[in-house]
Amino acid sequence: MKKITGGVTAAKGFEAAGVEAGIKYQNRLDMALVYSTVPCKAAGTFTTNVVKAAPVLWDMEVVENSPYAQAVVVNSGIANACTGKIGYGYCLETAEAVSEALHIPKESVLVASTGVIGMQLKMDKLKAGVVKLAEAKEGTLEAGHQAAKAIMTTDTVSKEVAVQFDVDGVTVTVGGMCKGSGMIHPNMCTMLGFVTTDIAISKELLTEAVKADVVDTFNMISVDGDTSTNDTLLVLANGMAGNAEITEKGEAYDKFVEALHFVNETLAKKMAGDGEGATALFETIVMNADTKENARVLAKSVICSSLTKAAIYGHDANWGRILCALGYSGVQFDPEVIELFFQSKAGRIQIYKDGCGTDYSEEEATKILSEPEVTVVVDMKMGSETATAWGCDLTYDYVKINADYRS
């Protein structure tokens, strides 16, 4: 498997576009299209929030009941969540507009929205945007990049990744894009993530691979503990790589799972590192836990702790807050036995052992914590299970962004 430049248009047969539709933002891209020249198998995971946005309800239907999907249309600025029957109607109208513009069945059009909750879409602008998207779509890297920019809200950078590997002597590509960067505490999947691949694979195996992988990728990140109403990860596979369709587990399936995992993990980390107001990606690795689930719970508890996140922002080795966050996670352990380490590109130090802080150098700790990517390693000494979670620091800018997001 090798990493290549690109995103949702990296795989064969996929086109994309990003256009200015003036949905809510002015003078920036705010609508995106991902389109496959042939129908795709589709898999998806969606928010577990009881309050589900209209497009989430529609996409769940499509992924469950349509044999194929062929296009994803996305708008930023307005989330179409808490918009009642009117909002659901608007979502259907959007799918119909795409169906008309691209001459594909309405039931093969996936819809995603992100932005302010509770506001209704302006359908004239949205429909004009759909027409523009249909005209603009291209299979170029640049078109994929435009799409990745169009789905951003408070993100500071667009987020894309792509990889290639061989199956049956043919080259298979998996690429994706996603957006954050607030209301990020995915519980099932992320805010908005779109992955395309030209692999030929059965819908059942595609679904299984996606559902299994989000548990250790998108579900292991958090920016603010708020599970969105719009979380959506969609994976489209159009079969154009030319491999024999994967219909059972084996070497080819394993290779695909490995590539999908790399793409998902890369996108998830990009999202955490670009959390609202963040200055650092904050990674927590819990090793030697008794169960995989306990390792996940412990790692997430640390990256979700507001106090720990504020300390990371201050480059302050306040390890007591990490102990505290492990302690209230709900997992049982012996605080006298576990060990803690800080690490980054600037080095690695042990910070806690035998129930007490070690005699570490505060200066060295501050140096390690001043890097843009910092890691806490927790050795539970209880077993052999490992999990990694990704978050970000808590900063003035997080408060600033969210105290006046609507204005």
If binding is defined by CB under 8 A, does position 296 make contact with a second copy?
A: no
Question: How far, in Å, CA of 88 to CA of 372, rounded?
Answer: 41
If binding is defined by CB under 8 A, does position 404 make contact with a second copy?
A: yes
Q: Which residues contact 307 (CB under 8 A, 6 or more apart)?
A: 318, 321, 324, 325
The CA distances from residue 20 to 80, 94, 120, 232, 381, in Å, are 18, 16, 18, 22, 54
Catalytic residues: 190
If binding is defined by CB under 8 A, does position 335 make contact with a second copy?
A: yes
Q: Using the structure block, give the residue that is written with the tokens 């994967």.
A: 246
Q: Which of 3, 249, 345, 400 binds a second copy (CB under 8 A)?
A: 400
Report the chain's terminal Cα–Cα distance, integer Å. 45
The CA distances from residue 222 to 29, 133, 372, in Å, are 26, 32, 17
The closest alpha carbon to 223, from 192, 176, 190, 193, belongs to 190
Tokens read off for 90: 């608007």
- Return the residues of window 91-130 that contact a second copy according to CB under 8 A: 116-119
If binding is defined by CB under 8 A, does position 327 make contact with a second copy?
A: yes
Cβ proximity of 31 and 71 under 8 Å = no
Count CA atoms within 13 Å of residue 272 on its CB side.
Answer: 32
Q: Which of 32, 260, 331, 387 binds a second copy (CB under 8 A)?
A: 331
Burial 73-98 (b: 16+ CB within 10 A, else e): bbbbbbbbbebeeebbebbebbbebb
If binding is defined by CB under 8 A, does position 228 make contact with a second copy?
A: yes
If binding is defined by CB under 8 A, does position 257 make contact with a second copy?
A: no
| Sequence letter at residue 282 | F
If binding is defined by CB under 8 A, does position 49 make contact with a second copy?
A: yes
Shortest distance (Å) from residue 23 CB to a second copy? 16
Question: How far, in Å, CA of 156 to CA of 33, rounded?
Answer: 20
If binding is defined by CB under 8 A, does position 224 make contact with a second copy?
A: yes
Q: Which of 234, 303, 311, 376 binds a second copy (CB under 8 A)?
A: 311
If binding is defined by CB under 8 A, does position 185 make contact with a second copy?
A: yes
If binding is defined by CB under 8 A, does position 304 make contact with a second copy?
A: yes
SS3 content of the chain, % helix, strand, coil (to 5): 35, 30, 35
Question: How far, in Å, CA of 178 to CA of 8, rounded?
Answer: 10
Residue span binding a second copy (CB under 8 A) among the ranges 101-109, 126-134, 239-247, 390-398: 390-398
State the Cα angle at 80 between 76 and 86, rounded to 5°. Answer: 140
Shortest distance (Å) from residue 216 CB to a second copy? 20
If binding is defined by CB under 8 A, does position 283 make contact with a second copy?
A: no
Shortest distance (Å) from residue 380 CB to a second copy? 12
If binding is defined by CB under 8 A, does position 337 make contact with a second copy?
A: no
Shortest distance (Å) from residue 307 CB to a second copy? 5
| Sequence letter at residue 206 | L
If binding is defined by CB under 8 A, does position 196 make contact with a second copy?
A: no
Cβ proximity of 353 and 336 under 8 Å = no
Q: Which of 21, 40, 183, 233 binds a second copy (CB under 8 A)?
A: 183
Residue span binding a second copy (CB under 8 A) among the ranges 6-14, 65-73, 83-91, 237-245: 83-91
Shortest distance (Å) from residue 50 CB to a second copy? 4
Pick the closer one to a second copy by CB: 248 or 404.
404
Pick the closer one to a second copy by CB: 119 or 209.
119
CA dihedral of residues 374, 378, 383, 387 (deg, nearest 10): -30
Shortest distance (Å) from residue 21 CB to a second copy? 21
Q: Which of 65, 356, 359, 363 binds a second copy (CB under 8 A)?
A: 356
Residue span binding a second copy (CB under 8 A) among the ranges 103-111, 136-144, 197-205, 331-339: 331-339
Tokens read off for 80: 């179409």
Q: Which of 69, 323, 374, 387 binds a second copy (CB under 8 A)?
A: 323
| Sequence letter at residue 99 | S
Question: How far, in Å, CA of 101 to CA of 90, rounded?
Answer: 16
Shortest distance (Å) from residue 376 CB to a second copy? 14
The residue count of the chain comes to 407
Q: Which of 61, 135, 226, 293 binds a second copy (CB under 8 A)?
A: 226
If binding is defined by CB under 8 A, does position 262 make contact with a second copy?
A: no
Residue span binding a second copy (CB under 8 A) among the ranges 8-16, 78-86, 100-108, 129-137: 78-86
